[in-house]
Structure 1
Amino acid sequence: MIRHLVLFRLNDGVRREEPRVRAGAEAFRALGGEIEELRFWECAWNITERPIAYDFAINSAVEDAEALRRYLEHPAHQAAAALWREFATWVIADYEF
């Protein structure tokens, strides 16, 4: 199994309440039931206020590297990521477990 972790940071001046940000979060929430390669899926807003904290997180798992590739290339994932490119940056970690 591969764990796929993503941490998002909203760009300066961008707020969670903005319609485009809400739409981006909803697009990622929907992926859990939409992409069959996903074996585990959760995403949520950070609940703490620390200077080093990111704003939004995805914690997911897929079977193997090929499943990860299919997930990343899936049109729904590509569309959700495109929304976030407009207002955030992110870091990713993928590891086997």
Structure 2
Amino acid sequence: MKNKRFWILMTVMLLLIMSLTGCVPGDGKNTVDDPAGFFWGVWHGWIAPISLIVGLFKEDIRIYEIYNNGWWYDLGFYIAIISGFGGISLSRSKKKYKRH
């Protein structure tokens, strides 16, 4: 049973890694005629740490797509960078600590 769980987990991890690195900036998917837009900016912002690591080994991979549609791509990228995976919060609650 544990051996089966191990292989399922390894398969899921492999698919996750392949899907995250399949759409990195600089992979040739976006061109001057087909620039990256807002949602690509969000995606590239989310995977920026992975793109940075992959870029150490592959010279053409960057954390930012140079063929983008401008301001909208930048907005998506910035939103993803500052929020991470759901880290943005419009309201923050402060915990009250009582001194004893």
Is this a same-fold pair by TM over 0.5? Answer: no
Pick the structure with more helix per residue. 2
Greater relative contact order structure (CA < 8 Å, 6+ sep): 1
Pick the structure with more strand per residue. 1
CA radius of gyration, larger in: 2
TM-score by length of 2: 0.26
